Structure 1
């Protein structure tokens, strides 16, 4: 086996036997449409990953390092979802949904100690969201991410002007999003950020700093414009773009 082939396999599965098993089973079952396919995968994929109760996995879902994926009861994975779960893997809590074309990617080729993506219960990852979990991403219960949200728990080192940025390494601090928060469409959450409970992040915001509990933040870079405990926002006064 050549070095290039070994490198490729090391980035696809935990071992050669696992790679073969995952590829064969997904090739046989992964394309079957409709309820028949959902039922088939709900049973067959138990041989590949940790599944609790009944889950719904649509056709066209791609999974790498499936032995590091954990799905709770009632999880829904929509068409075109991609899970890449290097250790410590991807965990999706009960009744959470990952919508069409979302990418959850845990690179851990450099043995980063905190790499993972953990999503709580009843949360929603919207269409075409991108989550990169090198530094670890923890999303609480009842969290909604709108479409095209990016949660990027990694950053490049770039201070050395004598070397290409690609050769200077990365930092990976991690991101946390607290229970009940709502992240508007197109928002970008950068590495090292903690978003509190019941936070609203406006559409298109770029979050570079922590946001306290029960606050509304908008803009680039995002800034807090309201504390909902001190100044509640009735529905008729809602002017923050969040979808």
Structure 2
């Protein structure tokens, strides 16, 4: 059971309120940085070792999950990945709070999923002050290269996020969404069953 001061900080974090590095320092034991380093330096032929490391790093890992190294995470332990996940190289999880990824999700190279932001006024950024809100990526989502998903975003079932997009608000299910800021371009329809491009 957390100390009452720690519980108060956890409550603020859960509410999306500002907290500092010093206040959250009690969470340091949940960081898996050494294991992430080891994973990123494990030879490709050592598939079983990589699998064991990934289970030790992440909050949970589904069946047939693939995460190509290198990847980066602030904690690792706050990332939950479903079945048939594919994460390409240079995936970054800023997982101060939960990042929950469903089944059949594909993420292209150099994508950032960040649950954390900082106050705009510099006086409020002392001691790395920040706020954190969870990210949810539903089943069958595809996120294109160099996309950034910001705190508190939910991406709906089956949607496609275009390369280079900055996703700052929720994306509904079964749409193609692109741009900075990311906006819905069009629905995904049965016509897409025979088309190659978006």
Give how far 1:70 is off.
Answer: 3.1
Q: Measured at CA, do residues 33 and 138 of structure 1 come closer, stay the same or move farther in structure 2, by a change above 3 Å?
A: closer
Aligned residues: 168
Quote the residue 2:87 is aligned against: 125
Is 1:150 aligned to residue 150 of structure 2? no
Q: Which has the larger radius of gyration?
A: 1
State the secondary structure of the residue aligned to 1:57.
Answer: helix
CA offsets 1:164-202 (integer angstroms, 9 cap, x no match): 624462111110000000000000000010001001000
Q: 1:1-243, aligned counterparts within 5 Å?
A: 11=28, 13=29, 33=43, 35=45, 38=46, 55-57=48-50, 70=55, 83=57, 90-106=59-75, 116-159=78-121, 161=122, 163=123, 165-167=125-127, 169-229=129-189, 232-233=191-192, 235-236=194-195, 238=197, 240=198
- 1:156–1:211 distance in 2 versus 1, CA, 3 Å: same
| Mapped contact 1:157–1:168 kept (Cα < 8 A) | no
Normalising by structure 1, we get a TM-score of 0.59
Unaligned runs of 5+ in 2: 1-24
The structure, 1 or 2, with the larger RCO (C-alpha pairs under 8 Å, 6+ apart) is 2
> SS in structure 2 opposite 1:233?
helix
